[in-house]
Amino acid sequence: MSIKLTTQAYCKMLLHAAKYPHCAVNGLLVAEKQKEKKKDSHSTPILCVDCIPLFHGTLALAPMLEVALTLIDTWCKENKYVIAGYYQANERTKDFRPNQFAEKVGARIAENFSEAAMIMVDSTRFTMGCYEPILAIYDHHENKWKCRDCNADCFEDWCEAQKITSALLEGRSYESLIDFDNHLDDLRNDWTNPEINKSVLHLC
């Protein structure tokens, strides 16, 4: 019932937050679609393989979020992915608790994917060195969101995630990160971020 993150997913989340330090940002996490539900599927963690940065600035409006969810859902189906989580970093650094909006979006995702996670980014611990994971992961239990401890176990390979995220931050890769807002400003902007994906692979 728990999710794990790949380096690519973690990286792009943090790059998104780093690109807009003065704004709230949010986005989605996707996992590979499981072929069949195994009996012990509760014990195998779900691996979030990628992250789709959505918006920056004013988050709490519905129409563009619906457009993004629709387009990304289609993309997921084409790539055998499923939307497995939602992340948000609030505008104020010290404010890292999920707000009503985050819970709403999280609940919406949980409707289609029961093990969906809601992730809040803790900007107070955000450093270039990335020495510790700065996420708070919330699981959906009985209509409530329960916070789970986020440590190295929540990552496919924390050492790799730490090294690569730090390297990309130093290299200012966040300047070329594309979110859905950027895409709406210019359709040529690709929210799958193939260049950054290449950089991550290159550094692996």
Residues that bind other proteins (CB under 8 A): 21-22, 58, 60-64, 66-67, 91-92, 94-95, 100-101, 172, 184-188
Of the pair 36, 63, the CB lying nearest other proteins is at 63
Backbone phi and psi for residue 21, each to the nearest 5 degrees, phi listed first: -65, -20
State the DSSP code for 86.
Answer: E
Residue 116 C-beta: closest distance to other proteins, Å? 22
Of the pair 136, 184, the CB lying nearest other proteins is at 184
- Cα–Cα distances in angstroms (integers) from residue 52 to residues 38, 42, 95, 149, in the given order: 28, 25, 22, 23
Of the pair 145, 180, the CB lying nearest other proteins is at 180
Residue 46 C-beta: closest distance to other proteins, Å? 30
Residue 103 C-beta: closest distance to other proteins, Å? 12
Residue 144 C-beta: closest distance to other proteins, Å? 20
Of the pair 139, 181, the CB lying nearest other proteins is at 181
Of the pair 36, 175, the CB lying nearest other proteins is at 175
- Cα–Cα distances in angstroms (integers) from residue 30 to residues 10, 34, 71, 104, in the given order: 12, 12, 13, 18
Q: Give the helix/strand (H/E) hosting 146.
A: strand 144-148
- HSE at residue 164, side-chain half, CA atoms within 13 A, is 22
Residue 88 C-beta: closest distance to other proteins, Å? 13
State the DSSP string of 23-47.
Answer: S-EEEEEEEEPPSS--TTTTTSPEE
Q: Give counts: helices (H), strands (E), the chain.
A: 6, 7
